[in-house]
Chains A and B, each alone.
Chain A
Amino acid sequence: MAKTKTYEEINEKIKSGKVTVVTAEEIIPMVKEEGPAAVLEKVDVVTTATFGPMCSSGLFINFGHSDPPIKMAKVWLNDVPAYAGLAAVDAYLGATELSESQGVVYGGAHVIEELVAGKKVTLRAIAGGTDCYPRREIETKVGLEDLNQVYLFNPRNAYQNYAVAVNSTGRPLHTYMGTLLPHFGNATYSSAGELSPLLNDPYYEVIGIGTRILLGGGEGYVAWEGTQHNPAQKRNENGTPMGAAGTLAVIGDLRGMKRDYLRAAVFHRYGVSLYVGIGIPIPLLNEEIVRRVGVSNEDLTATVYDYGVPRRTRPNLGVVTYAELRSGEIKINNRRIPTAPLSSLYKAKQIAAELKERIINGRFLLTAPVAKLPFRDGVKPLREEVK
């Protein structure tokens, strides 16, 4: 019978300092040269990572009670509105929310970045006043040390693959995929490719609800399937999806995270987003898992879409590999198009290396998922009522 390992066995090795960990880049030549069985013998964990703009991110905060207390109805942090339709002093600050005074240069992501950097931000809140919460307004400064709970809860991160964007029109387009030059002047993409977490676990076998991860440089967990989680995406023979597919909802304490791995971004004439760094360990439990983490940029593909057509379904212009995208040029309909990434491979490599360090040093134990991510049909469109 083929060899298998358990989470418990791997965690014992981590605790006794005998674990062997490599990154998802380092494993590729090993699997090619030695084969899955030999690799399973000597490697226990592969670390994956990504560092990209992830709009669907945000922060839950509990501010603590003032005296006299206030039931905050509307809340602003550095003039960025946070959602306060929760209990008295709970709020959720979305990464893409814009400042009411500064507009598209400052948003929720910037507040998150300032907090994680140890800065104080201005909290302003108003309320109607009740018998138990008489106060009607408050303005003060708060930092990480002043808050009760302050944790990221990102409803959609770590997209398992994404689109390649091009522009067929005669004018530059300013999109969440960056500036797209006219007449197919460039192509942008956003994935860590062979380092990307869910491209190394295409069928969500080891990454599931409860998986401990590195989030923003601190410890976090996979909380749920992400929004728009779409396992039904078309797949390559190796099981990896050819476009946007699975997603993760993740959670983690902002305390313990680092500004290096959480950075606010402004996409010109589009809006604010948050660059989020995520690292996920993949335990090598059996040969099948080893085979899957062995995929390289040559084996991974993405689909090219024309963002010049502003519709839900954009024209599909073909499929390219991540090796081609990384080479700096793709060929679409006999046209050579220069490529540029939006997610940082440099940072993804750093995160994969940091997670590897933590596991080797016994500071990061693996968790088996408490439940699997669902594997059901696709994403529903928003239908409009016919009047």
Chain B
Amino acid sequence: MAKRRVVLTFPPELTEKPITYHLVKDYDLAINILRAKITPGEEGKLVLELSNGSAEMIEKGLDFLVKQGVGVEAVSREIFLTEEECIHCGACTAVCQPGALQVDPETARLRFDKERCIVCELCVPACPLGIIKVLF
């Protein structure tokens, strides 16, 4: 199953129009909102994960967004953990609400599940060793 993460930028005039609705209805995509900042009358930002369709349907859905005037960028940032430097303290897990960073109860080692990471970046300053970075 194809999966894409994108950052959508909505110009002010579009923030009050139902648009993501069409991704579901017309392109049969499952959308997972990872982050959203929408204020009527201002530019809006939405970070989405699109799945449930073929790569082709995702492309078509994104083309539709572009035609509507929505800015589409791939999520290029990702969280990177220098594992060999990690002391497995677990301080980063305190701020990781999606549970991408967890201390494995069996091994007591830190586990980083990239699939669950929404790149909120809260773990970056929370790591006392400074070994969690955002890569662009």
The reply on A292 being an interface residue by CB < 8 A is no
The reply on B87 being an interface residue by CB < 8 A is yes
Indicate if the CB atoms of B125 and A341 lie closer than 8 Å. Answer: no
The reply on A305 being an interface residue by CB < 8 A is no
Indicate if the CB atoms of B89 and A341 lie closer than 8 Å. Answer: yes
- Interface residue from B87, B108, B109 paired with A275 (Cβ < 8 Å): B87
The B contact surface, by secondary structure, is: loop
Residues in B neighbouring A265, C-beta threshold 8 A? 128-129
**Which of B7-15, B59-67, B71-79, B91-99 forms part of the interface with chain A?**
B91-99
Indicate if the CB atoms of B105 and A51 lie closer than 8 Å. Answer: no
Residues in B neighbouring A188, C-beta threshold 8 A? 91, 94
Residues in B neighbouring A181, C-beta threshold 8 A? 94-95
The reply on A156 being an interface residue by CB < 8 A is no
Indicate if the CB atoms of A268 and B103 lie closer than 8 Å. Answer: no
Residues in B neighbouring A349, C-beta threshold 8 A? 108
The reply on B122 being an interface residue by CB < 8 A is yes
Report the separation of the CA atoms of residues A344 and B86 in the bound assembly, to the nearest whole angstrom: 10
Count of interface residues, chain B, beta-carbon cutoff 8 Å: 22
Given contacts A346-B108, A346-B109, A349-B108, contact A179 B90 (CB under 8 A): no
Indicate if the CB atoms of A268 and B90 lie closer than 8 Å. Answer: no
The reply on A111 being an interface residue by CB < 8 A is no
The residues in A between 265 and 294 inclusive whose CB is less than 8 angstroms from any CB of B are 265-269, 273, 275
Residues in B neighbouring A174, C-beta threshold 8 A? 125
- Interface residue from A179, A267, A338 paired with B122 (Cβ < 8 Å): A179
The reply on A263 being an interface residue by CB < 8 A is yes
Q: Quick one: closest A residue to B91, CB to CB?
A: A178
- Interface residue from A51, A263, A338, A340 paired with B91 (Cβ < 8 Å): A340
Instruction: Give the number of residue pairs across the A-B interface with Cβ within 8 Å.
Output: 81
The reply on B107 being an interface residue by CB < 8 A is yes
Indicate if the CB atoms of B93 and A346 lie closer than 8 Å. Answer: no
Q: A residues within 8 Å of B by Cβ? A: 51-53, 105, 174, 178-181, 185-186, 188, 263-269, 273, 275, 326, 328, 338, 340-347, 349
Residues in B neighbouring A53, C-beta threshold 8 A? 128
Residues in A neighbouring B97, C-beta threshold 8 A? 185
> Least Cβ distance of B130 to chain A in Å?
6
Indicate if the CB atoms of A340 and B128 lie closer than 8 Å. Answer: no
> Least Cβ distance of B21 to chain A in Å?
31
> Least Cβ distance of B76 to chain A in Å?
25
Indicate if the CB atoms of B122 and A344 lie closer than 8 Å. Answer: no
Report the separation of the CA atoms of residues A264 and B87 in the bound assembly, to the nearest whole angstrom: 11
Report the separation of the CA atoms of residues A186 and B122 in the bound assembly, to the nearest whole angstrom: 13
Residues in A neighbouring B122, C-beta threshold 8 A? 179
Indicate if the CB atoms of B89 and A343 lie closer than 8 Å. Answer: yes
The reply on B126 being an interface residue by CB < 8 A is yes
Indicate if the CB atoms of B95 and A267 lie closer than 8 Å. Answer: no
Indicate if the CB atoms of B89 and A179 lie closer than 8 Å. Answer: no
Residues in A neighbouring B114, C-beta threshold 8 A? none
Report the separation of the CA atoms of residues A344 and B90 in the bound assembly, to the nearest whole angstrom: 7
Given contacts A53-B128, A263-B129, A265-B129, contact A347 B91 (CB under 8 A): no
The 5 closest A-B pairs by CB, nearest first: A340-B94, A265-B128, A346-B88, A268-B125, A346-B108
Indicate if the CB atoms of A266 and B130 lie closer than 8 Å. Answer: yes
Residues in B neighbouring A343, C-beta threshold 8 A? 89
17 A–B contact pairs at CB < 8 A? A178-B128, A179-B91, A179-B95, A180-B94, A263-B87, A265-B129, A266-B128, A267-B128, A275-B87, A328-B105, A342-B91, A342-B94, A344-B89, A345-B90, A346-B87, A346-B103, A346-B109
